């Protein structure tokens, strides 16, 4: 079974936690998650480590629960939107000679992810959505450029209300050429303002 470290799961253990005010508990839960990750690197015999990447409600935890949960992996299930924090995790994982991978989950469109984001129990401001989607992609691009040895998997989460059976599915990018990957990441960068504008919540 995977050892999954999630700041959202940690939030639920904090005294006084109320999902309606999840944002207030975010800083402390991410710090605790980072400490837990560091401890796992030191103490676990598992060699494979995966850092998840992707904005809020992009489908990361759903991907982990479906495809990674049963494998022997240490998984940091977060947005990786802070370059500094992601970089520290990478350096620590490499120092402990772990086999490090990054799996980035992107939604097919921001609007669908936004619908899931504002409707689920734990609530954050829309700014948190714009910020994590923009910065997680920016961070990923910087990491890909800095660490050519780290394996990167790009996954696209798709929701189709007209599909029979399971309405959600995942697609994985099969092209592993690094230069093409960098080009792909460069083309798929968005500023917070661009993501915000795509929701058509003002000046319509």
Partner 1 sequence: MKFKTLRPPSKSNRQVREYVNAIEKGRNSYFVVQNGKGWYVRKASIRTSNGKFFPTKSEAVDNARARALRRNSEYLVFNNKGNLLSRKPL
How many chain residues are in contact with partner 1, going by CB under 8 A? 46
Please identify, among the stretches 28-36, 42-50, 110-118, 131-139, the one whose residues bind partner 1 according to the rule CB under 8 A: 110-118
Please identify, among the stretches 41-49, 92-100, 113-121, 143-151, the one whose residues bind partner 1 according to the rule CB under 8 A: 113-121
Q: Which two structure tokens, joined as six digits, stand for 89? A: 């995790």
Kindly state the DSSP code that residue 112 receives in the 8-state scheme.
H
For residues 88 and 85, what is the distance between their CA atoms, to the nearest angstrom?
A: 5
Q: 27 vs 66, which CB is nearer to partner 1?
A: 66
- Beta pairing class for 151-159 and 74-77: unpaired
Q: How far is the CB of 81 from partner 1 (least distance, A)?
A: 19
How many other β-carbons are positioned within 10 Å of the β-carbon of residue 66? 13
Three-state SS at 104: strand
Taking CB under 8 A as the rule, which mask of x and - marks residues 139-178 in contact with partner 1? ----------------xx--x-x---xxxxxxxxxxx---
Q: 66 vs 91, which CB is nearer to partner 1?
A: 66
Give the dihedral sign, CA 105/107/111/114: negative
Give the count of alpha carbons within 13 A of 7, CB side only: 20
Contact with partner 1 (CB under 8 A) among 73, 102, 114, 135:
114
Three-state SS at 76: strand
Q: 14 vs 172, which CB is nearer to partner 1?
A: 172
Q: Which residues bind partner 1 (CB under 8 A)?
A: 20, 57, 59, 61-62, 65-67, 111-112, 114-120, 123, 125-127, 155-156, 159, 161, 165-175, 180, 184, 196-197, 199-204
């Amino acid at each position: 079974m995977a050892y999954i470290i999630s700041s959202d799961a940690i939030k639920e253990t904090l005294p006084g936690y109320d999902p309606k005010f999840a944002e207030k508990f975010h800083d402390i839960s991410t710090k605790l998650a980072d400490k837990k990750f560091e401890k796992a690197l030191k103490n676990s015999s598992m060699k494979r480590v995966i850092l998840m990447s992707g904005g809020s409600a992009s489908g990361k935890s759903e991907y982990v629960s479906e495809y990674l949960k049963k494998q022997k992996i240490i998984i940091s299930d977060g947005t990786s939107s802070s370059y500094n924090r992601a970089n520290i995790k990478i350096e620590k994982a490499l120092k402990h000679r772990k086999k490090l991978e990054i799996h980035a989950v992107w939604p097919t469109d921001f609007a669908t992810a936004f619908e899931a984001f504002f409707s689920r129990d734990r609530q954050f401001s829309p700014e948190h959505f714009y910020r994590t989607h923009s910065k997680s992609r920016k961070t990923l691009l910087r990491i890909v450029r800095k660490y050519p040895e780290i394996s990167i998997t790009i996954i696209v989460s798709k929701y189709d209300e007209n599909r029979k059976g399971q309405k959600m599915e995942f697609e994985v990018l099969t092209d592993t050429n690094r230069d093409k990957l960098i080009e792909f990441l460069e083309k798929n960068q968005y500023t917070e303002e661009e993501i915000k504008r795509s929701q058509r919540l003002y000046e319509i």
